[in-house]
Amino acid sequence: MFDRDNPPLVRVEKLTKHFSVRIGAYGETRATVHALDDISFTVQRGETLGLVGESGCGKSTAGLTLLQLHQPTAGKVFFQETEVTGLSDTELRPLRQKMQIIFQDPYSTLSPRMTIGNAIGEPLWLHELIAKNRVQERIAELLDAVGLNPAFAFRYPHEFSGGQRQRICIARALACEPEFIVCDEPISALDVSIQAQIINLLQDLQETYHLTYLFIAHDLAVVRHISDRVAVMYLGRVVEMAPKSRLFSNPLHPYTHALLQAVPVPNPRQERQRQHTVIHGNVPSAINPPSGCRFHPRCPLAFEPCDHIVPEWREVESDHWVACHAV
Amino acid sequence: MSVLLDVQDLQTRFKVRQGYVYAVNGVSFRLEEGETLAVVGESGCGKSVTMLSLVRLLPPAASIESGQVLLKGADLLQLDQRQLREVRGGQIGMIFQDPMTSLNPFINIGAQMAEPLIYHRGMGKKQALARSAELLEMVGIPDGETRLREYPHQFSGGMRQRVMIAMAMACEPAVLIADEPTTALDVTIQAQIVELVKALRDRSGVAVVWITHDLSVVAGIADRVIVMYAGYVVEEASVDALFEDPRHPYTVGLLGALPSLDGDAHRLTTIGGSPPDLADQPTFCPFHPRCPYAIERCRTENPALEAVADATARGHRTACWVDIRELQSPVVSGS
């Protein structure tokens, strides 16, 4: 399906993003949110890399910073071996065509005053991708590709359900023929029966248009279903990354292990027999993250170096990366 | 086991500018002592409105048109407001989806927790606070006495949900209604809350109604399940029968749409189309526009919830004209 020997489509090197915030009742104290610290990964052409973690772990920030929608604090991002960090807006624009994003909430990402035809057509004329007299034709084509009636082009977003709106957002992302799409929790806001429709659609489009996805989600079952490889994030850092079969059958990092334990299995007999070891405590604040390994206050395996030495991000076996002192 | 809560033919509708929204259309179910009943369905299927109707916590636009809600034999729909207050928080405890909005941000946790104990149990303030501290420890919040003086913003989402559970359990209710209690929480916190409710249930013998859209959670906690669609109960079964031998096409669709953590990545089966509009009371099966098995009768008559003829387990009921096991492959509709 994808080629591991070729150079990756996207390469992220030690990407870091900190936000300055003011805290306290009157905003009198300055603080730094360590949203993303030192993350590195590659995405191969044609694959889906899943990015999972709990809310506040920095997975969305990773997607946005990778696309230069946030200015990174440090680190580099390469797209087709071209460094995109540090490029000016004009230099970036032709690359943006190739890198698109689908957001979580299809209600707030479509302008209520724009027909969906215009919303989908906007990237076409902005990037001057197509002759004016062919725009309508192309919009119809895109609507058809995402399973909507081309006659809908003249309707407004309020006339559509959540699932249909997400299809419109997908059509808009497809308009400038991207190679890489960041899917930022694209199904979390949708009903269960609609989620499966969108997952199948994304998989079909990947095949038809040879797309590469960074699929961000908090639902491990969905990530397992759609991804080739999976990266697990905890509090701004990637703690483990591996091909999905290996990550789910042989998780090495104690956090990955705990996450898998916490996911309920849709089978009552299995569920009754399963050992339920629950990890205690909450995700700490990213304003003052724990020293050393950020998982150590909740970790059942924590020992001497964990609270002061940041574990190294290393490849323990081919293509299986982990950051933990205990493995 | 005896029947604790018996709901018969409950109908609730909302008055809107264009007419009515028929949210709950003749829902009947029973809850036995000590059992956990899961209510499953997509947003807008009427599962929350059903439960709010039981204790009449409905917005002004809503009205209960008919039905009976018998709690230990007494009809809750006939009670006056004063008697109803005895039931709410006394015999029926409730937990809601969003613990951020269910607690008052201006009042400390102690005062909020003591209130039901003072009201329902006639405790003095000191005694109520001491009991509240015990309750906090019971739901896994250490150092209860100090935490009672704190305000909701000093608690994390999971901790607030624990506080809500402690409040709901404070007066030792016979029924605990949990309305999507883990939907707003992360998966590791969800697991903590599910384990907590199970432990409390096993210790106190409270009967639980667990409302959710997530079938995976249901598998771990429920004894019986009712599946709702468009304000109707479309299937009712023991949890094992529902997962192993589902009889309503909607249940089959929901189960097929679940990606699983083990096994291969098969293509997900989907339910085509979108959830229905509830502006009319249908004279047809409300699921037929999305149903791959629909026959002519489905378009003209709405099936009633009836016992499955050759059920493997007792009490398996479904509302469908078609015996889906006789059909080999469905007519695929939608994408």
How much of chain B exceeds pLDDT 90, in percent?
65
Find chain A residues with C-beta within 8 A of B191's C-beta: 261-264, 276, 278
Q: In chain A, positions 191-220, which contact chain B (CB-CB < 8 Å)? A: 191-197, 199-201, 203, 218-220
User: Are residues B164 and B158 in contact, defined by beta-carbon separation less than 8 angstroms?
Assistant: no
**B64-91: pLDDT as tens digits:** 999 999 999 899 999 999 999 999 988 9
- The pLDDT assigned to B265 comes to 59
Q: In chain A, positions 46-85, which contact chain B (CB-CB < 8 Å)? A: 54-55
- Dist CA A22 CA A32 (whole Å): 8
**B127-149: pLDDT as tens digits:** 999 999 999 998 988 888 899 99
**B155-197: pLDDT as tens digits:** 888 889 999 999 999 999 999 999 999 887 888 888 889 999 9
**B259-279: pLDDT as tens digits:** 877 656 568 888 887 778 888
Say if A271 is an interface residue toward chain B (CB within 8 Å): yes
Q: Is the pLDDT of residue A2 over 90?
A: no
**B6-64: pLDDT as tens digits:** 999 999 999 988 889 999 999 999 999 999 999 999 888 899 999 999 999 999 999 99
A276 and B258: CB-CB below 8 Å? no
User: Are residues B46 and B23 in contact, defined by beta-carbon separation less than 8 angstroms?
Assistant: yes
Report residue B333's pLDDT band, with 50, 70 and 90 as the boundaries: very low
Tokens, residue B27: 């829902």
Dihedral over Cα of B51, B56, B57, B60: its sign: positive
- The pLDDT assigned to A1 comes to 47
What secondary structure does DSSP assign to B14-62, as a single string? EEETTEEEEEEEEEEEEEETT-EEEEE--TTSSHHHHHHHHTT---TTE
Checking ipTM against 0.90, whether it exceeds it is: no
Q: Which residues contact B255 (CB under 8 A, 6 or more apart)?
A: A266, B215, B243, B246
- The pLDDT assigned to A262 comes to 87
Arithmetic mean of pLDDT, A105-117: 91
B240 and A268: CB-CB below 8 Å? yes
Report residue B125's pLDDT band, with 50, 70 and 90 as the boundaries: very high
**B89-100: pLDDT as tens digits:** 889 999 988 777
What residues form DSSP beta bridges with A21?
A: A31
Report the residue from B158, B188, B240 with minimal CB separation from A259: B188
Arithmetic mean of pLDDT, A267-293: 83
User: Choosing among A54, A185, A197, A206, which should be mutated to test the B contact, i.e. which has the most B CBs within 10 A?
Assistant: A197
A197 and B335: CB-CB below 8 Å? yes
- N- to C-terminal Cα distance for chain A? 31
Other beta carbons less than 10 A from residue B203's beta carbon: 10
B187 and A259: CB-CB below 8 Å? yes
